[in-house]
Amino acid sequence: MIINIMPTHQQPLALLGNITPTQFLAEYWQKKPLLIRNAIANFTGLLDANELAGLSCKEDVQARLIKQSKSKWQVIDGPFDEDFFSRLPHDKKEHNWTLLVQSVNHHLPKAAELLAKFNFIPHARLDDLMVSYAPDGGGVGPHFDSYDVFLLQGSGKRLWRVCEQQDLSLVDGVPIKILKNFVTEQEYILEAGDMLYLPPQVAHWGVAMGECMTYSIGFRAPKVEELAIEFLSFMQDNLALQGLYQDPNLTLQAHPSDVSDNMVASVSNMLKTITWDDNAVGEFLGRYLSDPKPDVIFELPRKLSLEKFNQQLMQKPIFLALKSKMLCYKTACFINGEKLDLPDSLFSSMQKLADTRCLFVNHQYLNIDDLAVLIQLLHTHYLSGYLTFKH
């Protein structure tokens, strides 16, 4: 698989209903919903319900089953066993259920190709591809997400109800987010290949019309508080302050238990010396946003000597493993939370790998020292399972 889809942002895309990515960003992104009929022609999905159920039985796949019986909602976490699905009812009068499988792009090369179509949104914002299956009448109820999401219809049909309502109060005591007062503003029936873009916090409710599969291409909008906490933790790891607290002018205090104003002022001044610049924030973002989720486990390849690795590298392209995430800030590159130790002269090669998830190392065009560094670096990350020659 070679992903090399870098749309020129001035070209209208069927994927966006024949507007350009530039127009989409200006008019819809984070602003209002957009319904796109036939966004991907002839799209019927990347896997069938059985294959999705099969994925949800795997140890390293994050899967949930959301079940509603009358007004009772239940969440069952995977991995499931094969029999589990045969026991589920298909009678919509009694039950409603949906199987949701996260990060399908970590397991299916075709899913990574699908995500590449959305390259007009920065990879730093990309979360994952979630795929759902529901029998007739199934859905996860009226809710809102904290994500920008493109809801692409796979097989079957789904009725979407959408509302840009202010009232986002939730039903108490249920294990998932269900809106207390959902109001239908718009209704759309999506068929295979149709897509609905929703900004974060837009209320929506999808109900399967017959068996249906939906592909959610999710773009994470991290909470400000989460970014701040993580940045402070990054700063803590990178802080190098010298010296001890000093009080050579200490005077007698009326109460020995008092933390004095002098002490507070002195420490307050000391803390004000903690500063950061955009480079620190860039490095933090590169590391944090490329960091894999805690449940991600990289598969290690069979051992390959540097020499044998280089022989392969001369013959074929190398790819980011499906679970790898790579970002760049200025001339720095980050892969799966780590900063690469890289001379500037190799940046454009690594940027190509980050942009397209693929790199063919052209041995003739690199100087001998750079080539040696590049091969060593790629080899190290190949052995960690971050890079691969095949999907």
According to CB under 6 A, which residues from 191 to 210 bind ligand SIN?
Answer: 204, 206
List Cα–Cα distances, 331 to 33, 240, 282, in angstroms.
Answer: 35, 24, 11
- Alpha-carbon 342 to chain mean position: 25
The residue with its CB nearest to Co ion is: 145
* Nearest in space to 210 (alpha carbons), one of 65, 92, 118, 380: 92
Which of Co ion, ligand SIN, none has residue 113 at its interface (CB below 5 to 8 Å by kind)? Answer: none
Note whether 105 binds ligand SIN by CB under 6 A: no
Q: In the complex with ligand SIN, which residue's Cβ is closer, 221 or 358?
A: 221
Number of residues that bind Co ion (CB under 5 A): 1
Note whether 140 binds ligand SIN by CB under 6 A: yes
Q: Which residues contact 283 (CB under 8 A, 6 or more apart)?
A: 234, 329, 332, 334, 339
**What DSSP character marks residue 28?**
T
Q: In the complex with ligand SIN, which residue's Cβ is closer, 194 or 283?
A: 194
Residue pair 125/195 in contact by the 8 Å Cβ criterion: no
Which one of 133-141, 228-236, 246-254, 382-390 is the stretch in contact with ligand SIN (CB under 6 A)? 133-141
As measured in angstroms, the least distance from the Cβ of 140 to ligand SIN is 5
Q: Which of 48, 60, 113, 145 binds ligand SIN (CB under 6 A)?
A: 145
Going by their DSSP bridges, the two strands 147-153 and 212-220 should be labelled as antiparallel
* Nearest in space to 238 (alpha carbons), one of 285, 189, 186, 276: 276
Q: In the complex with ligand SIN, which residue's Cβ is closer, 48 or 145?
A: 145
Q: Which of 132, 155, 290, 388 binds ligand SIN (CB under 6 A)?
A: 132
Residue pair 213/129 in contact by the 8 Å Cβ criterion: no
Cα distance between residue 368 and residue 359, in whole Å: 18
Note whether 68 binds ligand SIN by CB under 6 A: no
One character per residue 109-148, x = contact with Co ion (rule: CB under 5 A): ------------------------------------x---
Question: For the CA atoms of the chain, what is the radius of gyration?
Answer: 25
The residue with its CB nearest to ligand SIN is: 132
What does the binding site for ligand SIN look like in residue numbers (CB under 6 A)?
98, 132, 134, 139-140, 145, 149, 204, 206, 214, 216
